[in-house]
Amino acid sequence: MTVSLDIIIELIKVVSSVAIFFVWVVRYENIRKEFNEYNLPTWLRDLTGILKLSCAWMLHFSDPRIVVAGSSGITLLMLAAVVTHVRLRSTFRRYIASVTMLLLSITILYFSVA
């Protein structure tokens, strides 16, 4: 039995969306603490959450242009998260999830434009 690439990409979309929802809704208190710890403004935290949740939702549209927009948005946001963690000298353990999500979003983007 072979699993098609389309099914794998759809699974990656689901995993990405669930992870974003979990972090930004279920575990929102951790996000609040992290943004406070790094002295980042609340408006940036709220904007980031709105954008991430919106982009995660866009991954599930049938129009590939919307999927590309959503995966591009997540890619940019995760790249910013990784750069922020590196600049603030976080331990890799603190931002491995950001790196993982960045790689997943790049994968979705790549196969959405291919």
* pLDDT tens by residue, 22-81: 999 999 999 999 999 999 999 999 999 999 999 999 999 999 999 999 999 999 999 999
CA distance 107 to 6: 12
Tokens of 2: 């072979």
pLDDT value at 114 more than 80: no
In this prediction, residue 3 has a pLDDT band, given cuts at 50, 70 and 90, of confident
| Domains contained in the chain, number | 1
Q: Which has the higher per-residue pLDDT, 2 or 54?
A: 54
In this prediction, residue 1 has a pLDDT band, given cuts at 50, 70 and 90, of low
What residues contact 112, with CB distance under 8 A and at least 6 apart? Answer: 9, 64, 67, 68, 71
In this prediction, residue 102 has a pLDDT band, given cuts at 50, 70 and 90, of very high
Tokens 């979705």 identify what position?
108
Q: Which domain holds residue 94?
A: 5-113
Per-residue DSSP letter, 62? S
Residue at 72: amino acid letter: S
Handedness of CA 10, 14, 19, 20 (dihedral sign): positive
Q: Is 43 exposed, middle or buried (0-12, 13-18, 19+ CB in 10 A)?
A: exposed
* Cβ-based neighbour number of residue 13 at 10 Å: 23
The pTM of the full predicted model, rounded to 2 decimals, is: 0.90
